Amino acid sequence: MIGVAASVAAAALALAGCSTQPSGPTAAPTSSGGTEGGYDPALVSAAQAEGALTIYSAASDAVNTAILDAFGKQFGIQAQAVHLATNDLLTRFLTEAEAGAPGADDVIFPQPQFFSDNQALFVPLTPEEFPNLAEWPADGIDNNTSVVVTTMPYGVLYNTTLVPKEDVPKTWTDLSNATKYKNQVAFIDPGADSAYLGLSNELQKVNGIDILKRLAALNPTYGSNSTPEVQAVAAGTAAMGMPLFASQAAGVKSQGAPVDFQILTGPTLGLDSELALVKNAPHPNAAKLFFEWLASSDGIGAICNAAPYASPLDPEGDLGCLVLPGDLKIIDQNVSESQRQMLLQAWGRS
């Protein structure tokens, strides 16, 4: 049985997506040899011969489009992304894997534990096959299975016409005390998946369980994922939304919505998003080429210029990535059942 780290949210919203199924046995990816511009010419040729790529990504549609457009422009390979709510995407991926018919070539998930629990489903990242990873930060490679491509600090999205600058919360405590905005906030359901439970757990460790009760007392509208929340803040039906990332604000902001984003401190919390190469991928050479490209300055530059992300490969922001606060802590998504019940009770969601 394949392990699943994240609990599956019953009401997770599934956005439209598409997949490519393998038509039969696939060849092993071409091994890396000599390089030209950092990429093995034989691998590039083999990938171009396959001519297609499918990624499963929890990133926004706008970010996925920007990444794949940059990849396609550089290599002439037609690529597509399947974007669903994270838990729906994990479920789809595991269902296909158990059936022996993976639809994805590469995956990008903000669930590090998922990769640890399912290492057998991914290509091992050996130095012989992936020499470019020699320059990757050691703490950015997880179990030789996946690499941390982006890090995303949590914060609050707010409507600038409804929330004046002096009211914008800077800390989680500020937000919990924003009683002026009671009934005007939208939150992702803390029980929607392990990331939000982990966030709640980190908050109560630092501030005590009452901070969750104060947040719940704002009487927020709860959603199963970020999409309706971002749309509500953009439309002005909610003044603020959390917990969100700057990258989730970028799309609606670029479309002219009166929104802005504030990282929250006390504590400063974040989430890693990891990239892995699927074993027995439908397009193994394109899959490997995409992996090598995204885990390089070319790919990281593309993703950080598409939306505000931080990356282990660009700690100083030279490629356009965010520079992370020095006190940022990556949340621990491993929450026991007793902790889960305690946290949900504090939220009034048990």
Q: Choose among 230, 226, 246: nearest CA to 238.
A: 230
∠ CA 341-347-348, rounded to 5°: 85
- Cα dihedral 156→268→89→299 (10° resolution): 100
Burial class (CB in 10 A: 0-12, 13-18, 19+), 196: buried
Domains and CATH numbers, the chain: 41-152+272-306 (3.40.190.10), 153-270+327-347 (3.40.190.10)
From first to last of its 350 residues, the chain has per-residue pLDDT tens of 333 333 333 323 333 333 333 333 334 454 443 334 589 999 999 999 999 999 999 888 888 999 999 999 999 999 999 998 788 899 999 999 999 999 999 999 998 889 999 999 999 999 889 988 888 888 889 889 999 999 999 999 999 999 999 999 999 999 999 999 999 999 999 998 888 999 999 999 999 999 999 999 999 999 988 889 999 999 999 999 999 999 888 888 888 999 999 999 999 999 999 999 999 999 999 999 999 999 999 999 999 999 899 999 999 999 999 999 889 999 999 899 999 999 999 999 98
